[in-house]
Structure 1
Amino acid sequence: MDCWPSTAAAETTTPPSGVIQSISTRATKGDCARRCRQSACLRIGRAGPTIGPVVGPDPFAGMRRPVVNRFRCGTRLCVLLTMLAVAVGTQAGAAQPKFGELAPARIAEIATMLPETPRGPGPRIGERAAWEAAAKAPAFRKVVPQAEVLLKEPIPDTTDELYLDYSRTGNRDRYQRVLFAKMNRLATLVLAECLENRGRFLSAIDATLRAILEQKSWVLPAHDGSLAVFKGQAMEIDLVAAATGANLATLDWWLGEKLPAETRRRIASELERRIFQPLENMVRGKARPYWLTVTNNWNAVCLAGVTVAATTAIPDRQRRALFVAAAEKYVQNFLDGFTPDGYCSEGLGYWNYGFGHFVLLAENVFQATGGKIDLYERPKVREIAQFGHRLEIAPGVYPAFADCHVGVQPDAPTEAMVSRRFGFGWKDVEARGLLLASGPSRDLFAVGLLAFPNSASRRPPAAASPQREVRTWFADAGILICRPAGDPQRALGAALKGGHNAEHHNHNDVGSFVVALAGHTPLVDPGAEVYTRRTFSGQRYESKVLNSFGHPVPRVAGQLQATGRQARARVVKTDFTDPADTLVLDLRSAYPVKGLQKLQRTFVFSRQGAGSLTVTDEVGFESPAAFETALVTFDPWTELGPGRLQVGKGASAVRVEIDTQGKKFEVRAEPIREDLPGRRIPVRIGIALAEPVTEAIVRLTIVPAGK
């Protein structure tokens, strides 16, 4: 177990007088900076010993892309360029997203690293020692019983009517629910057959395979806005198509001649038509290279799936090398989407998905080239690999910033891989996620790469587990994680957010915060909504959970925060010591309010006793204007008396003391009625000054209610 925590040495940084530091590190251009990042996420699908539905953010939010020819001028080219700019958040000071032809000499060099014939991830079904060991592993014990149940059930039917539902209603869930059930069915049946090798699941595997091969589109309806793929007018690769290609190549590698010859021929022809030719067209400039150049999770996810399919199923070594060369070149765009300190502005769920697929890509390329290409060695990967670990406020508690869901935790197999590869010494997560402990997955290629001996498992474990520090300061991103010095079950922790309002999967949330106590978050950033067409459109910030109304930040002169990179927090001061951490932010640029002379938010996190968090807002106007701040919670709350609130229940309840320097105020609670996972309804507890002011100080002091 990681030790919790040690008291780090004091660290204080104060800018010179009159200097305000920017904590924003991503750049966008023009109006595109004021629009949402259209990218996507899927948890890799490991949920203990079962192959179940995906949890976390809606798995496949994404770019609704018009079908255009990148070489045409005029309106279509403008649409394409705008789409790419919206989809890409670039890191300030870093190179712009890269695209260009692959070097023939590098392709030839990579070809010499590859085996003469392709090899897929993991052992084939005839390698019984490996599969029999998996059958005995606790994480895989439920696979065969689940497959036996599926034999009695029909194949989920992804009808044309369901596919067209999104284009008619904007609802993503109805089609995706059926599609994922079909994919889960296939993965469960294949794993069960490999585990027991008795042939009793082969017929059902073949029938399910044929149903997938017959689909008009492997692309999600939400990613086929013009229906060009559905109508056969175009062939594109999205997140699901890439994963489908990798899974079909993997199961063909595993089962081989146990599948009917005609089915195997059909797998090969569909991989060629739906995956290999489209990717070659992209890298050769014959089709738009949209996800090759984006800096979000689409890049790593699609590259991982396509590259696994290629290294597993393409007979020609030179052609296989082209796909590896493309992965080697273009995955740098994904890495460029992180700040230098490794912060993932898409949120923890998207780190699981995007960086989790980077790990799969890196492992596949490492294995395919005999270790001659090691993407783990890229600059910044070590920092990115620690993001989930460093984001933890208290054991098992993480902030749901951006499009993340409350309760999401880092993916154990991903963390186990990087812990062993980099020698981090996270022994508890290695025990839960390395090799067969990683468990089954809807992504069969992930099972092949993670559950069996790999580049991580072949390295020795670190000698000792590191001791958890009392804070993590993502200086480039402007995020501060404050941990208690004592027992995290009894003492307060917090996550404090600066940043800007043009991040990947952006929420307008500059100045937001989360409070943790006793394994729970009584005061929250409420996280992502259930995705619909509105979520990734010009109406994104009509959502009260995505605009600043749904976050614990001020409302100034009746105005919510603006969208765009110009709406950002600027660091005025940081002061990190053993007893307390102080972060001072200037929030003026986040509010389009004329005459706003000052808006400074000061966080002071104290580790004394059971801990406390003080949030102080200082505001000044040229002429009187309204001002209010807010708390957000999913928990019950009550007013204990004038200026005193209690939020939460039991050991995780907190008490909030409100100090307005004598100015009258009102507490106004409003449910935020948006569609959140589990139909949960957060409440915004507004604390509004009763009269317009020219200057004011509003201070909230948050302490455990039991103290």
Structure 2
Amino acid sequence: WNYATSYNVYLLAALETALGTDFGLSDMPGFSETGYFCIYMTGPLWRTFNYADSGDGAPHASQMFWLARRFDKPVYAWYQRHMASRHTHPLDLLWFDSRSKSPSEEDLSLDRWFHNVNVVFLRSRWEDERAIFIGFKGGDNKANHSHLDLGSFVLDADGHRWAVDLGADDYNIPGYFGRQRWSYYRLRTEGHNTITLNGENQDPHAEAPIVDFKSTPDLASAAADLSAAYGDLAEKVLRTVSLVERRYVLIRDVIKAREPVEVAWNMHTLASVKVEGSKAMLSQNGATLLLEVIEPKDAIVESHEVSIPPPQRPIKGIRKITVRPPSRVESVEILIRLTPLDK
């Protein structure tokens, strides 16, 4: 987003200052709304939902000032005023907009579905670093820089990121943008917070639409149809992520396979993990998150530290939680509850 919009605005601003017009290019459908994606994808810790080859740092986006002025969107200026307070770029000075309205002052919805990319963001509150934040994606495995990560998510709560996306690997390792791309852990399905069947990758050509979205005071949810990602192995894979009462998260996976398969539910975390039966207690710097397997009753919960071989960049301090039915299944529903435990 940052790369594309910044160069768009460089062009538009240059046309305006040199020729007095951008020839209507800034009126292209949707362009006035693009700044909302930047705001929604950034969680309460000023970390983004960094799917695909993205980093998780909130982007320094001087173009948000330009967009705020061009489209009368003070909330865009609110975002960039915060970023400029950390580090100022010359374009922040050139395009500075002194107006500033926070998302809560603008009465922005807590939840939003970005239809064209099939990505959803849910949160419990604006402007509170202890808020719950979920980034969840369907999407398109064919998109540039994509990973095989349909159905993946990140989760922030109580001032910590609990479910992490590992982001990109080194672009210079052999075949990163070629035939070896899907052999690297960070890009494989097993390296994301989603479902694997028989330990295999998702279909690199698959798309996963968001098929349901709700946003009410007590329930925010989104469902992604992941069936095409597992087409050779499953007739139906549907994942629904819900923020219930703005207090806890439910993740429901409904899987109907073509024949018995090994199913694994995966989540990567920086937290320490203590597994007790169908529960796992995650801890970070005094904060705690409880993971509970509601269905299936006989699920096996495991946790291990992730280690990958060179030439991939080392992964340090990441643990992977896996929930599995005890044997191969043809049909299963997995229901996981994630609850921040306030002190």
Please state which band the TM-score falls in when normalised by the shorter chain: 0.7 to 0.9
Task: Tell me the TM-score normalized by structure 2.
Answer: 0.87
* SS of structure 2 residue aligned to 1:584: strand
2:141 maps to which residue?
501
1:597 maps to which residue?
235
Give the counterpart of 1:636 among 272, 275, 297.
272
2:73 maps to which residue?
424
C-alpha distance 511-432 of structure 1, shift in aligned 2 (>3 A)? closer
1:553 maps to which residue?
194
Give the counterpart of 2:220 among 578, 581, 590.
581
Q: Deviations over 1:533-592 (max 9, x none)?
A: 42111111111111111101111133221101xx22244433322111122222221014
Q: Measure, in 2, the Cα distance between the counterparts of 1:423 and 1:486.
A: 21
> Following TM superposition, by how much is the alpha carbon of 1:688 offset from its aligned partner in structure 2, in angstroms?
1.9
* SS of structure 1 residue aligned to 2:32: helix
Give the counterpart of 1:607 among 240, 245, 252.
245
1:142 maps to which residue?
none
Q: Measure, in 2, the Cα distance between the counterparts of 1:423 and 1:670.
A: 48
Q: Measure, in 2, the Cα distance between the counterparts of 1:551 and 1:688.
A: 16
Q: Measure, in 1, the Cα distance between the counterparts of 2:24 and 2:92.
A: 19
**1:557/1:593 contact within 8 Å kept:** no
Q: Measure, in 2, the Cα distance between the counterparts of 1:643 and 1:438.
A: 45
* SS of structure 2 residue aligned to 1:386: helix
1:78-157 to 2 correspondence within 5 Å?
A: none
Q: Measure, in 2, the Cα distance between the counterparts of 1:593 and 1:704.
A: 37
Which letter does structure 2 place at the counterpart of 1:409? A
* SS of structure 1 residue aligned to 2:74: coil
**1:389/1:410 contact within 8 Å kept:** no
**1:419/1:430 contact within 8 Å kept:** no
**2:293/2:299 contact within 8 Å kept:** no
Which letter does structure 1 place at the counterpart of 2:289? V
1:168-187 to 2 correspondence within 5 Å?
A: none
Aligned residues: 338
Which letter does structure 2 place at the counterpart of 1:703? T
Q: Measure, in 2, the Cα distance between the counterparts of 1:463 and 1:354.
A: 25
> Following TM superposition, by how much is the alpha carbon of 1:431 offset from its aligned partner in structure 2, in angstroms?
3.7
Q: Deviations over 1:331-351 (max 9, x none)?
A: xxxxxxxxxxxxxxxxxxxx2
1:295-374 to 2 correspondence within 5 Å?
A: 351-371=1-21, 373=23
2:285 maps to which residue?
650
Q: Deviations over 1:483-532 (max 9, x none)?
A: 10487333422111111211121111111111011343111122111221
C-alpha distance 403-437 of structure 1, shift in aligned 2 (>3 A)? closer
2:120 maps to which residue?
480
**1:392/1:481 contact within 8 Å kept:** no
In terms of mean alpha carbon deviation, does 485-494 or 505-514 score higher? 485-494
Q: Deviations over 1:403-447 (max 9, x none)?
A: 1123x102242222222222211344454577x99745xxxxxx4
1:367-382 to 2 correspondence within 5 Å?
A: 367-371=17-21, 373=23, 375-382=25-32
> Following TM superposition, by how much is the alpha carbon of 1:677 offset from its aligned partner in structure 2, in angstroms?
7.1
* SS of structure 1 residue aligned to 2:40: helix
Q: Deviations over 1:633-675 (max 9, x none)?
A: 1332222x11111224135531100133333424152504267
Q: Measure, in 2, the Cα distance between the counterparts of 1:372 and 1:493.
A: 37
1:660-671 to 2 correspondence within 5 Å?
A: 660-671=295-306
Q: Measure, in 1, the Cα distance between the counterparts of 2:30 and 2:128.
A: 30
Q: Measure, in 2, the Cα distance between the counterparts of 1:451 and 1:694.
A: 56
Q: Measure, in 1, the Cα distance between the counterparts of 2:299 and 2:30.
A: 50
C-alpha distance 423-679 of structure 1, shift in aligned 2 (>3 A)? same
**Structure 1 gaps, min length 5:** 1-350, 441-446
* SS of structure 2 residue aligned to 1:507: coil
Q: Deviations over 1:245-271 (max 9, x none)?
A: xxxxxxxxxxxxxxxxxxxxxxxxxxx
Q: Does 1:529 align with 2:169?
A: yes
**1:636/1:648 contact within 8 Å kept:** yes
* SS of structure 1 residue aligned to 2:176: helix
**2:282/2:290 contact within 8 Å kept:** yes
Give the counterpart of 2:62 among 407, 413, 416.
413
C-alpha distance 545-451 of structure 1, shift in aligned 2 (>3 A)? closer
Give the counterpart of 2:321 among 667, 678, 685.
685
Stretches of 4+ moved more than 4 A in 1? 462-465, 674-679
Q: Measure, in 1, the Cα distance between the counterparts of 2:2 and 2:143.
A: 17
Structure of greater Rg: 1
Which letter does structure 2 place at the counterpart of 1:578? P
Give the counterpart of 2:39 among 389, 403, 416.
389
* SS of structure 1 residue aligned to 2:337: strand
Which letter does structure 2 place at the counterpart of 1:418? L
Q: Calculate percent identity across the aligned residue pairs.
A: 21
**2:158/2:340 contact within 8 Å kept:** no
Q: Measure, in 2, the Cα distance between the counterparts of 1:661 and 1:476.
A: 34
**1:382/1:422 contact within 8 Å kept:** yes
**1:517/1:704 contact within 8 Å kept:** yes
Normalized per residue, which structure has more helix? 1
**2:299/2:323 contact within 8 Å kept:** no
2:331 maps to which residue?
695
Q: Measure, in 1, the Cα distance between the counterparts of 2:101 and 2:237.
A: 48
C-alpha distance 438-632 of structure 1, shift in aligned 2 (>3 A)? closer
> Following TM superposition, by how much is the alpha carbon of 1:691 offset from its aligned partner in structure 2, in angstroms?
1.0
> Following TM superposition, by how much is the alpha carbon of 1:473 offset from its aligned partner in structure 2, in angstroms?
1.2
Which letter does structure 1 place at the counterpart of 2:190? F
**1:397/1:520 contact within 8 Å kept:** no
**2:301/2:321 contact within 8 Å kept:** no
C-alpha distance 414-519 of structure 1, shift in aligned 2 (>3 A)? farther
Q: Measure, in 1, the Cα distance between the counterparts of 2:315 and 2:264.
A: 27
Task: Note the aligned Cα RMSD (angstroms).
Answer: 2.9
**1:612/1:703 contact within 8 Å kept:** yes
Normalized per residue, which structure has more strand? 2
* SS of structure 2 residue aligned to 1:655: strand
**1:627/1:688 contact within 8 Å kept:** yes
**2:251/2:335 contact within 8 Å kept:** yes
Which letter does structure 2 place at the counterpart of 1:540? R
Which letter does structure 1 place at the counterpart of 2:202? Q
Q: Measure, in 1, the Cα distance between the counterparts of 2:21 and 2:278.
A: 62
C-alpha distance 541-422 of structure 1, shift in aligned 2 (>3 A)? same
C-alpha distance 376-555 of structure 1, shift in aligned 2 (>3 A)? same
* SS of structure 2 residue aligned to 1:585: strand
Q: Measure, in 1, the Cα distance between the counterparts of 2:78 and 2:316.
A: 32
C-alpha distance 559-479 of structure 1, shift in aligned 2 (>3 A)? same
Which letter does structure 2 place at the counterpart of 1:591? Y
Q: Measure, in 1, the Cα distance between the counterparts of 2:317 and 2:6.
A: 30
C-alpha distance 698-679 of structure 1, shift in aligned 2 (>3 A)? closer
